[in-house]
Amino acid sequence: MIKKILKGLLLLLALVTAVVLINTFRFSKEIPHKQALPLTAINDSAVQHLSEAVQIKTVSYADSLPVDTASFLQFRKFLETAYPLVHQKLPRQIFNQFSYLFKWEGKNAALAPYVIMAHMDVVPVEAAALDKWTVAPFGGVIKDSTVWGRGTADDKGCVISILEAVEELLRQNYQPERTIYLSFGHDEEISGTRGASAIADWFRKQNIHPELVIDEGGEITVENFPELKRPIAVIGVGEKGYLSFQLTVEKTGGHSSMPDKETAMDILAKALVNLRSEQMPFRMSGPVEVLLNRVGPGMPFGERMALANQWLFKPILKKEFEKSHVTNALFHTTIVPTVFNSGVKDNVIPGKATVIVNSRNLPDDPQGDVIAFMKKQIHDDRVQIIPEKVNKDASKISSIDGAAFKKIEDICYQVMPDVVPVPYLLMGGTDSRHFDDIAKGVIRFAASIDAKGYHGIDERLPINDFKRMIFFYSLLIKESGTENNAKPIEVKKS
């Protein structure tokens, strides 16, 4: 009997091993290697323009604070001077004083337009972080073949690249096949309600449904997948939701010399501990699933085997991905406290404690589910959960089989040798979400490589990246009317 069972077990083990190996082998199909086109030279003035753009402090502080009118006006003047042909030849509409929409009429009116967008405002530089910068944040310093300063990576690099590409094509008297709109918002960093949202409203009213909207978001990375030894273009096809909740507990306070067993602060603190003790479900689906399937075949054997056999290794993969806060956020809806408020004096027990909790939710976890999860975790009716009015669930996901994604994929191959384009979901928000319901495809991508200093210290953009970005937009415009045809020649791995 025991012999029979052993025999059966051995057979099962052999079978599982065979299936695992076959799956791994099948998964090992090489990712195509493609040769890009050589980067074209840019005008000498281009780098100077980016530097100048950085020096104008178009800072968005807070929704409640007035716009720095002088800076935004100065920025408009700068654009008009730096890009005369754009301003001569393309009609400009102004939205809420400082956001702009340019229209470049295409030859073929039957084609739905493209919208190429970027934002002109930047986040402030923290006073406390000033001495950590190696350059003046608004100096527009050019050194080490790099332009330094607030906005170079987010998102003036894109604004200037787009305009450089268009100005040059206009100089050559070029006319695109398809109508191209250039959309520049002035308040992305404070939710884009006056800029991109107003511009999207205009499209809605005109009943114009763009074929493609492209905004900031993903980029090319070599640092995030070192095992692959190839650059990966992470192309944003959607973004997580942005939800905030106020958690409040009210309980009569009093003198700190005679405290109750439990205070409002105690209850709230316990609620937070419970809330944070577990995560919402691990979800290996949507764009992230496609991403793993595309990079998987290039990974070392162990990783490849695990990714090819998720039916068996999912628990191990889950554990691995949850180790890093970055990958964890790709597979989970996150929930974290960000503002804590209670108390006025050291000897007074406050009667009220509140905390703001911020959640970035996956498309599969809409707000209602997030609230239900929080209630279940907190398990205490004394804690009120109030959602903020501006809460927004995850965006729509643009199909990777759609024309928009395919076009960007195609251009990626042309601007970066040997690149592997993959779809992914942005963890932050961009202006492009305002176009979600009117465009056929919304893509978040710029052709920089591992840009540094987003919202942080020593923000900068290497001039070579800047060149590639200009090239990217220029190709996108020139190929707006053509079918996708992955032009670069496939080459054998050297």
Residues marked active site are found at: 121, 188
484 Cβ neighbours under 8 A, 6+ residues apart:
403, 406, 407, 409, 410
Residue 60 has which token pair? 């968005």
Sign of CA dihedral 79, 164, 110, 119: negative
Buried b (16+ CB within 10 A) or exposed e, 98-126: bbbbbebebeeeeeebbbbbbbbbbbebe
Name the packing angle between helices 69-82 and 44-55 (round to 10°). Answer: 170
Q: Could you tell me which of 225, 200, 165 has the C-alpha nearest to residue 411?
A: 165
CB of 360 to Zn ion, least distance (A): 16
Using the rule CB under 5 A, which residue among 68, 121, 154, 239 binds Zn ion?
154
436 Cβ neighbours under 8 A, 6+ residues apart:
395, 396, 442
| Nearest to Zn ion of 153, 198 (CB atom) | 153
The number of CA neighbours under 13 Å toward the Cβ of 406 is 13
CB of 119 to Zn ion, least distance (A): 6
CB 56 within 8 A of CB 75: yes
177 Cβ neighbours under 8 A, 6+ residues apart:
106, 107, 108, 111, 480, 481, 482
| Per-residue contact string for residues 105-144; x = within reach of Zn ion by CB under 5 A | ----------------------------------------
| Nearest to Zn ion of 154, 459 (CB atom) | 154
Residue 342 phi, psi dihedral angles, 5° rounding: -175, 150
| Nearest to Zn ion of 189, 303 (CB atom) | 189
The one segment of 21-29, 39-47, 155-163, 464-472 that binds Zn ion by CB under 5 A:
155-163
Amino acid at position 306, single letter: A
The one segment of 154-162, 300-308, 337-345, 436-444 that binds Zn ion by CB under 5 A:
154-162
Residue 65 to residues 61, 129, 172, 455, Cα–Cα distance (Å): 7, 22, 43, 19
| Nearest to Zn ion of 211, 216 (CB atom) | 216
CA dist., res. 107 & res. 481, Å (int)? 9
The one segment of 48-56, 106-114, 150-158, 200-208 that binds Zn ion by CB under 5 A:
150-158
What is the torsion angle, in degrees rounded to the nearest 10, for the CA atoms of residue 221, residue 238, residue 165 and residue 171?
Answer: 160
| End-to-end alpha carbon distance in the chain | 56
SS3 374: helix
Residue carrying the six token digits 């996956």: 362
Using the rule CB under 5 A, which residue among 75, 101, 152, 155 binds Zn ion?
155
| Nearest to Zn ion of 176, 453 (CB atom) | 453
The one segment of 208-216, 218-226, 285-293, 337-345 that binds Zn ion by CB under 5 A:
208-216
User: DSSP states of 293-305 as a string?
Assistant: HHHGGGS-HHHHH
| Per-residue contact string for residues 167-206; x = within reach of Zn ion by CB under 5 A | ----------------------------------------
CB 448 within 8 A of CB 157: yes
Residue 213 has which token pair? 């909207």
401 Cβ neighbours under 8 A, 6+ residues apart:
none
The one segment of 147-155, 244-252, 354-362, 463-471 that binds Zn ion by CB under 5 A:
147-155
| Residue 222 DSSP one-character state | S
| Nearest to Zn ion of 357, 447 (CB atom) | 447
| Nearest to Zn ion of 266, 450 (CB atom) | 450
| Nearest to Zn ion of 159, 317 (CB atom) | 159
| Nearest to Zn ion of 234, 378 (CB atom) | 234
The one segment of 97-105, 212-220, 335-343, 371-379 that binds Zn ion by CB under 5 A:
212-220
SS3 51: helix
Question: Which spans in 299-381 are helix H?
Answer: 301-308, 310-323, 325-331, 367-378
| Nearest to Zn ion of 174, 454 (CB atom) | 454
State yes or no: residue 215 binds Zn ion (CB under 5 A).
no
Point out which residues bind Zn ion (CB under 5 A).
154-155, 216
